[in-house]
A and B are shown apart, each in its own frame.
Chain A
Amino acid sequence: MKMVLRQTLICVCLLVLMAFVLPSLGLIPNIDQEVIQKTSTGSHFLFQNFNWPQSPRFSNSELQEIFVSRASVTLELTFWGVVSILIFSFLWLILSLLSQKFHTISYFIFEGIIKIPTLFLILIFFSLLEVESLKFLFGDWPTAFWDSWRHKVLPVFFLMMRPLASFCLIVEQQIVRELKEGYVQTARAKGVAPFKIIFSHVIRNGLPVVLTHLSVLGSRFIVGGLLVEILFSIPGLSQEMLKAWMEGDDIVLFLILAFYIIAYNIIRMTSLVYKAPERVV
Chain B
Amino acid sequence: MKISRSRISFFVISALIITLGVRSLIELDRSASYFTSPNSLLWFGAGELGQSLLVETALATLITLLISLLSALFILTFAFAIGILDLVAGPKMSAGVEFFLNLITALPNLMLYIILSRIIALNSQSLWLVIPQMAFLISIAYFGSQYLVVQARLKQILFKPYLEGAQAIGAKPIYVFVKHIIPELYPILKRMFQMTLPQLILAEGTLSFLGLGLRPPLVTLGTLVGQGFKLRPYIHLLFFPSLVLVILLFIYDFQIRDRLEKRNIIS
Which residues of A approach B to under 8 Å, CB–CB? 3-4, 6-8, 10-11, 14-15, 18, 28-30, 115-117, 119-120, 123-124, 126-127, 219, 222-223, 226-227, 230-231, 241-242, 245-246, 250, 253, 257, 260-261, 264-265
Contacts and interface: CB of A to CB of B under 8 A. Distances in A.
A257 B114 contact: yes
B105 A253 contact: no
Interface stretch (B53-61, B65-73, B157-165, B243-251): B243-251
Given A119-B209, A120-B246, A242-B210, A253 B106 contact: no
A242 B118 contact: no
B83 interface: no
Interface in B218-267: 225, 229, 232, 235, 238-239, 242-243, 245-246, 249-250, 253
A245 B212 contact: yes
6 contacts: A11-B107, A223-B108, A227-B206, A227-B210, A230-B210, A241-B114
Interface in B193-229: 202, 205-206, 209-212, 225, 229
Contact of B118 (A7, A119, A250): A250
A127 B237 CA distance: 13
Given A15-B115, A250-B118, 6 more contacts: A7-B102, A18-B118, A120-B242, A124-B243, A223-B111, A227-B210
A260 B111 contact: yes
A223 B203 CA distance: 13
Contacts of B206: 119, 227
A7 B110 contact: no
A116 B225 CA distance: 16
B213 to A, nearest CB: 12
Contact of A261 (B102, B106, B211, B253): B106
Interface string B94-118: 0000000011011110110011011
A127 B232 CA distance: 9
Contact of A10 (B103, B225, B242, B250): B103
A28 B108 contact: no
Contacts of A119: 202, 205-206, 209
B154 to A, nearest CB: 23
A241 B210 CA distance: 11
A177 to B, nearest CB: 20
Contacts of B229: 123, 231
B27 to A, nearest CB: 24
B41 interface: no
A123 B225 contact: yes
A15 B246 CA distance: 35
A8 B106 contact: yes
A54 B266 CA distance: 56
Task: Give the top 3 A-B pairs by smallest Cβ distance, nearest first.
Answer: A7-B106, A223-B108, A123-B242
Contacts of A230: 210
B119 interface: yes
A261 B107 contact: yes
A223 B249 CA distance: 22
A158 B266 CA distance: 29
A10 B103 CA distance: 8
Contacts of A226: 110, 210
Nearest to B201: A117
A10 B246 contact: no
Nearest to A29: B121
Nearest to A230: B210
A3 B102 contact: yes
Contacts of A7: 102-103, 105-106
A30 B186 CA distance: 42
A245 B210 CA distance: 11
Given A117-B249, A223-B111, A28 B118 contact: yes
Contacts of B118: 18, 28, 30, 245, 250, 253
Contacts of B235: 127
A11 B245 contact: no
B108 A264 contact: yes
